[in-house]
Each structure stands twice: as C-alpha cells, then as structure tokens.
C-alpha cells in the first residue's frame, strides 16, 4: 500500500477491493461546556484487522477519541460508526468490542478467574461455559496457574495480563486500548507489546491503541495516527509498512529508526507550529 501524504487521510486511498471499514470517525469533535476544544473534527477510517495507534503528547485528545469510539463519551458534533452502525447500536452488527484501561481496573475482592469471567457474567453466560472460556483466555496470556490468585498478589504486568484476558474472553472483534502498558517498566512493556501483536494476529483483531511512546507505536502498528495538543487534533497518519511478525530485531533495524524519525519530525513540527501560534 502506498504511503500517504501528510494530512491525507486513509479512506480516499483505499483500494475498492478492501472490506468495509470497521471503524469510521466522521468529523467527530469534542468541545467541553467551558469552550475548551478537546478534539477538533477528526476523520478516520479503520479497516478490519488493522492495528492503529493514536500517538501524541498528553492533552492531544487521543484518549478522548478512543472513549468516543467506545461509546463512553459522546462527540459534541459529528458521528462515529462501527461496521456501518452508530456506536450505540453495535449489538445489531453481531460484532463485539472490548476496552483495556490504563490501569488494570480489576475488582480487588475477586479472584483472577472471577475478574476475567466478569463480562461473561454480566452477559448472562452460564457458569460452566464461562469457566471454560476463562481458562482459555488465561492460557492465552500465560496466567492459567494464577486463576485462584487475588489481583494484589500479582505484579503490575501480570495484572495487566489479567485485564487483557478479561477483554479477550468475550472474543471481541475490536480491541480498544488506552495506554495499557504506560505504567509498566520498559522490559515488561516490550514483552507485553510482543505478546499483544501475537494475539492480534492469532485472533484477527482490529486494535486501536493509544500511546505516547513513538517506539511502541512503530513496533506495534500497521498505521500511526499522529495527534497534537492545544487544541487536540489529528496531524497526519503514517503507514508502518513493515511485515509481521515483528521481532525484537526489528526495533534495532534501520527501517525502524527511519519510521521513528519520521514520527518524531512530525511531532516536532506539530509542536513548533503550536509554539508559533502561542507567540505573538
């Protein structure tokens, strides 16, 4: 696929043979009642099976955009579609969505198993079937031996794995992740990044991943959406047209550096632009 020009968004470049978009953001924007523009109008189309990263500094609206896709926030104006339906009517499409928060967001009183089973319990899945699916999900994240443990007995990385298992147990089509590994140490983060890519390929997921790390974005994504702050907006999008599976070697390759450099330049340009605006 051709690399896009800066500022040029994906839909126009899609070859006709591409399947319909999984996620469509149509001029969605968010303005708070006090007039703060959290996010200027965004147009974005994400195909089934893409791994898209929203990259930018704090205050660029990346979490806001993700929460609008999740239906946790309403756009002030514009629309968001998931498989050609408004977000609120996702159920009609037969597709499922899961959300992973920045913190593990587990119930401290419940075992790992009960935590992972939560979305199934809420959906009324019978206990026996639920337990079988929980066991599969825990196996996927390598925590099958910790089913009976309580969250506080696990390390931060393991708790995050539980959170990921909980999101996978419903067999989602779309996985939304809000800086999921931001609070973890670098080594654990690399490990979980690699595991996530593995799961993405195995499960044929569509992932929208929020991060402020250029390296994480290049390593994971098939496409990076660069965002900037004050006001929050999309600056440009980049294709990371490197083959999967990506190994740790990819992180020290010249291609990796080249992509990282492009992203960094874009980030600098966006903040320089911002500085010009600020200075009279």
Partner 1 sequence: MNTATLPASPSAPAARATPAASAARLPLLSQPRFQKIAYPVAVGLLLLALWQGLVTGLELPPYLVPSPILMVKTLWTDWVALGTSLLVTVKVTVLAFVAATIVGVLISFLFVQSRRIETALFPYAVLLQVTPIVAVAPLIIIWFKDPTLSMVICASLVALFPIISNTTLGLRSVEPDLQSYFVMNRATRVQTLLRLRIPSALPYFFGGLRISSGLALIGAVVAEFVAGTGGTGAGLAYQILQAGFQLNIPRMFAALLLISLTGVALFVLMNWLTRLALGSWHASETSSD
What whole-number distance in Å separates Cα of residue 225 and Cα of residue 239?
9
CA distance to 146, 197, 220, per residue, from 194 (Å):
21, 5, 8
Q: Give the shortest CB-175-to-partner 1 separation in angstroms.
A: 13
For the chain, how many helices (H) and strands (E)?
7, 10
Footprint (CB under 8 A) of partner 1, residues 141-170 = 145-146, 148-154
What whole-number distance in Å separates Cα of residue 87 and Cα of residue 275?
36
Binding segment for partner 1 among 140-148, 194-202, 211-219, 259-267 (CB under 8 A)? 140-148
User: Burial, 226: exposed, middle or buried (Cβ in 10 Å; 0-12, 13-18, 19+)?
Assistant: buried
The answer to whether residues 2 and 236 touch, using CB atoms and an 8 Å cutoff, is no
Q: Does 172 bind partner 1 (CB under 8 A)?
A: no
> Pick from 13, 118, 194, 260: which binds partner 1 (CB under 8 A)?
118
What whole-number distance in Å separates Cα of residue 80 and Cα of residue 83?
10
Q: Does 181 bind partner 1 (CB under 8 A)?
A: no
Footprint (CB under 8 A) of partner 1, residues 244-273 = none
Q: Give the shortest CB-131-to-partner 1 separation in angstroms.
A: 17
Q: Does 70 bind partner 1 (CB under 8 A)?
A: yes
Q: Which of 82, 87, 88 is nearest to 24 (CA)?
A: 82
Angle in degrees, CA 57, 195, 187, rounded to 5:
60
Q: For residues 154 and 218, which CB has a smaller minimum distance to partner 1 in the complex?
A: 154
For residue 275, which phi and psi values (nearest 5 degrees)?
-65, -40
Footprint (CB under 8 A) of partner 1, residues 84-103 = 99, 101-103
Q: Does 9 bind partner 1 (CB under 8 A)?
A: no
Q: Give the shortest CB-40-to-partner 1 separation in angstroms.
A: 24
> Pick from 8, 79, 109, 198: which binds partner 1 (CB under 8 A)?
109
The answer to whether residues 105 and 166 touch, using CB atoms and an 8 Å cutoff, is no
Q: Does 125 bind partner 1 (CB under 8 A)?
A: no
Name the one residue in this structure whose structure tokens are 């591409």: 18
x/- site string to partner 1, residues 217 to 246, per CB under 8 A? ------------------------------
The answer to whether residues 188 and 158 touch, using CB atoms and an 8 Å cutoff, is no
Number of residues that bind partner 1 (CB under 8 A): 26
Q: For residues 15 and 108, which CB has a smaller minimum distance to partner 1 in the complex?
A: 108
Binding site residues, partner 1, CB under 8 A = 70-72, 99, 101-103, 105, 107-110, 118-119, 121-123, 145-146, 148-154
């Amino acid at each position: 696929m051709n690399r896009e020009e800066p500022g040029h968004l994906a839909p126009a470049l899609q070859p006709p043979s591409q399947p319909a978009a999984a996620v469509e953001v149509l001029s969605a924007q968010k303005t708070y009642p006090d007039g703060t523009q959290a996010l200027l109008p965004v147009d974005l189309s994400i195909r089934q099976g893409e791994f898209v990263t929203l990259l930018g500094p704090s205050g660029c609206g990346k979490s806001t955009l993700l929460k609008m896709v999740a239906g946790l926030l309403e756009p002030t104006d514009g629309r968001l579609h998931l498989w050609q339906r408004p977000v609120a009517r996702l159920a009609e499409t037969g597709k499922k969505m899961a959300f992973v928060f920045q913190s593990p967001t587990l119930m401290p009183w419940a075992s790992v198993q009960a935590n992972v089973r939560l979305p199934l319990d809420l959906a009324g899945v019978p206990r026996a079937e639920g337990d079988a699916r929980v066991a599969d999900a825990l196996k996927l994240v390598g925590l099958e031996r910790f089913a009976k443990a309580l969250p506080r007995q696990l390390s931060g990385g393991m708790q995050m794995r539980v959170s990921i298992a909980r999101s996978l147990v419903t067999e989602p089509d779309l996985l939304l992740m809000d800086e999921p590994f931001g609070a973890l140490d670098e080594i654990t983060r690399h490990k979980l990044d690699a595991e996530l890519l593995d799961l993405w390929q195995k499960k044929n997921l569509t992932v929208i991943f929020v991060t402020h790390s250029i390296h994480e974005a290049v390593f994971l994504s098939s496409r990076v959406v660069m965002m900037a702050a004050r006001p929050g907006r999309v600056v440009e999008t980049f294709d990371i047209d490197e083959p999967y599976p990506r190994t740790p070697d990819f992180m020290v390759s010249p291609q990796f550096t080249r992509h990282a450099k492009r992203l960094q330049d874009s980030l600098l340009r966006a903040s320089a632009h911002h500085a010009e605006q600020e200075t009279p």
